[in-house]
Structure 1
């Protein structure tokens, strides 16, 4: 199922429900049929999501160093998309909504 996030400050952001549930969980919200991230909640939401991205990048770097450093003949494998790439459109929306002092809605 696709979830569409809307705000007057940015283009709509659509994502699959499992990713929406994950990102909303990071910022302390629950995915329901309808919801809102109030403009006064945005600074904390942005900080939580940015922190999660930093942690994810650090864990990925540690994994690569731990499991692939110094391997001879190791074929580079496809790198899965990280949280930074998955969260970017949503994080950008949060930042734009914060600048415009507007709420973000979904399920409307």
Structure 2
């Protein structure tokens, strides 16, 4: 399932539910429907930046989380499990568009909404 985040200060950000879940868990927000108000945006940016920094400090934990999230991932014909792990897209890369949206919302005094 896809989750689309909307804000008037930036383009929409769409991501898979399992990737959005980790971000929204960090922010203590509901996956189905919610809002990060302009007043909450600064704190949300701080929390998400901390989580990104931790994921970069501990890439093995990030990879472990990803392996659970993508347990259903099918390898390409010529792809080995080692290659799939090497090509892993980490939390920092997945969170970047949403983090940019939050920064724009914070700076522009706007809300970020989803599920509405």
Of 81, 90, 93 in structure 1, the residue corresponding to residue 98 of structure 2 is 90
Aligned CA RMSD, in angstroms, stands at 2.0
**Structure 2 residue aligned with 1:73:** none
Q: Which string of whole-angstrom CA distances, capped at 9 and with x for unpartnered residues, describes residues 60-83 of structure 1? A: 289xxxxxxxxxxxxx85241111
**Structure 2 residue aligned with 1:102:** 110
**Structure 2 residue aligned with 1:43:** 42
Could you list the runs of 5+ residues in structure 1 that have no partner in the other structure? Answer: 63-75
TM-score by length of 2: 0.75
Runs of 4+ in 1 over 3 A off after TM superposition: none
* SS of corresponding position for 2:6: strand
Equivalent-residue separation in structure 2 for 1:79 and 1:15 (angstroms): 18
* SS of corresponding position for 1:96: helix
Equivalent-residue separation in structure 1 for 2:87 and 2:52 (angstroms): 16
* SS of corresponding position for 2:58: helix
Equivalent-residue separation in structure 1 for 2:10 and 2:108 (angstroms): 9
1:21-100 matches, cutoff 5 A: 21-32=21-32, 34-60=33-59, 77=83, 78-100=86-108
TM-score by length of 1: 0.80
- Cα deviation for residue 94 of structure 1 reads 0.2
